[in-house]
Chains A and B, each alone.
Chain A
Amino acid sequence: MSSEPPRVGGALVRRVGTVLVAMMLAAIAATAVGLLIDGEALRGLGIFVMLGTPFAALARVAVHGASRREPRLVVFPLATLAVVVLGIVLAR
């Protein structure tokens, strides 16, 4: 697994990087404005977007895996997201 070249193509890897940057900038902007105007909802939105960013990247991988019929790129991201949703439901 280790010394082999990565099996996932460079195009997907860069697309995932773009998702991360776009959502990170949105999270920073919302948090900074929320702190400046003392807006609890906007701060919360910024934190929420930041926490959602890695999961959005995983969802992007799953969409790519589904379109290319690569089960391993669908099963593991969806299993990860399912565990997170279960954790949130149990925490409530």
Chain B
Amino acid sequence: MNPLELFGIGLAAGSLGALLGIGGGAILVPGLTLVAGLPLRSAVGASLVCVVATSVSGSAVYLWKDRVDLDVAVHLQAFTVVGAVAAGLVAASVPPGPLFIAFATLLAVIAIRMSPWSRGAADRAVLRPPRRRLAAGASVGAGVISGLLGVGGGVFNVPVLHLLLGMPFKRAVPTSVLMLGVTAAAAAAVYLVRGDVDTHVAGVAMLGTLGGGTLAAAVGGRINQRMLQALFTVVLLYTAWRMGLRGLDEF
């Protein structure tokens, strides 16, 4: 496998992920399967390692700025990890077809949420009193999605923290970034022990992802965010279409 190709996929995932506030798994898994030709399970394993790297580097900054609600993160992580570990254990026996279809659906959901033409539900919602049991249940679900599909789950964590627990948005995002690292690390540990993490692929992609995050931090202010979101929405919808077709082929 060409290391430059892997590094480029990691760089794209890291930079776009940081610019758009997502973990990068939504870009890495399609890149590693559709472009680099990796089996889905290996791509998910490598993606989880990259999500951990993205989370660790982002969390360090947020922690020093005191923007993470450590109490809530530590509490909800216990639930996301249950979902992630359970999903990591059953992933080995799930055929790739349904996983490709599930990933395509997830990409479509992210594309709609990231679209510049629609305001997210989190922005419109009226905050209600904290609903902790529901938040714990939803966190298990976010962990399952992370463990099965190799994404961080931030697209689910942030609404849980903001809508169900009433956390202000500026704290919900940093808290989610910390949480998704623990969740992805738990699932990645299961993949690693089972032999589904290729250290060469994961290592190169991880360095690319971290480089992309640094690049995004350097140029982020000079990029038209609305145009970037529009481009990203189109790319995600196209990728969802390709992943869906690949899933149908696998049946």
Residues of A that sit less than 8 Å from B by CB: 1-3, 6-8, 10, 12-14, 16-17, 20-21, 23-24, 27-28, 31-32, 34-35, 40, 43-44, 46-48, 50-55, 57-58, 61, 72-73, 76-77, 79-80, 83-84, 86-88, 90-92
Report if B18 contacts A (CB, 8 A).
Answer: no
| 10 extra A-B contacts, CB within 8 A, seeds A21-B60, A48-B192 | A1-B71, A14-B63, A44-B199, A52-B185, A53-B185, A58-B74, A76-B75, A80-B77, A86-B85, A87-B189
Interface on chain B toward A: helix, strand, loop, or mixed SS?
Answer: helix
Picked from A13, A24, A46, A52, the residue with its CB within 8 Å of the CB of B66 is A13
Residue of B nearest to A34 (CB): B203
List residues of chain A with CB within 8 A of the CB of B111. Answer: none
Question: Which B residues, 80 to 101, have Cβ-Cβ distances below 8 Å to chain A?
Answer: 81-82, 85-86, 88-89
Determine if B68 and A58 form an interchain contact, defined as CB atoms under 8 angstroms apart: no
Question: If the complex has contacts A1-B132, A13-B63, A54-B185, are A47 and B70 also in contact, measured as CB distance less than 8 A?
Answer: no
List residues of chain B with CB within 8 A of the CB of A48. Answer: 192
Give the distance in Å from the alpha carbon of A87 to the alpha carbon of B70 in the complex: 24
Which 8 residue pairs spanning A and B have beta carbons closest together?
Answer: A17-B63, A2-B166, A87-B85, A43-B199, A2-B167, A8-B70, A54-B182, A91-B193
Residue of A nearest to B59 (CB): A20
* Minimum C-beta distance from A81 to chain B (A): 9
Question: Which B residues, 24 to 80, have Cβ-Cβ distances below 8 Å to chain A?
Answer: 49, 52-53, 55-57, 59-61, 63-64, 66, 68-72, 74-75, 77-78
Report if B120 contacts A (CB, 8 A).
Answer: no
Question: If the complex has contacts A2-B168, A24-B53, A87-B89, are A72 and B197 also in contact, measured as CB distance less than 8 A?
Answer: no
Pick 8 A–B contacts, CB within 8 A, sort by A.
A1-B167, A2-B166, A6-B66, A35-B200, A50-B206, A87-B85, A87-B186, A91-B89
Give the distance in Å from the alpha carbon of A35 to the alpha carbon of B189 in the complex: 21
Determine if B57 and A24 form an interchain contact, defined as CB atoms under 8 angstroms apart: yes
Give the distance in Å from the alpha carbon of A58 to the alpha carbon of B70 in the complex: 10
Picked from B60, B78, B192, B207, the residue with its CB within 8 Å of the CB of A35 is B207
List residues of chain A with CB within 8 A of the CB of B186. Answer: 80, 83-84, 87
Total number of B residues with any Cβ neighbor in A under 8 Å: 56
Determine if B182 and A80 form an interchain contact, defined as CB atoms under 8 angstroms apart: yes
Determine if A73 and B74 form an interchain contact, defined as CB atoms under 8 angstroms apart: yes
Report if B188 contacts A (CB, 8 A).
Answer: yes
List residues of chain A with CB within 8 A of the CB of B207. Answer: 28, 31-32, 35
Report if B119 contacts A (CB, 8 A).
Answer: no
List residues of chain A with CB within 8 A of the CB of B77. Answer: 58, 76, 80
Most chain B Cβ neighbours within 10 Å, of A7, A34, A91 = A91
Most chain A Cβ neighbours within 10 Å, of B78, B197, B207 = B78
List residues of chain B with CB within 8 A of the CB of A57. Answer: 59, 182
Give the distance in Å from the alpha carbon of A66 to the alpha carbon of B185 in the complex: 24
Give the distance in Å from the alpha carbon of A46 to the alpha carbon of B207 in the complex: 11
Determine if B75 and A40 form an interchain contact, defined as CB atoms under 8 angstroms apart: no
Question: If the complex has contacts A13-B63, A50-B53, A55-B185, are A84 and B85 also in contact, measured as CB distance less than 8 A?
Answer: yes
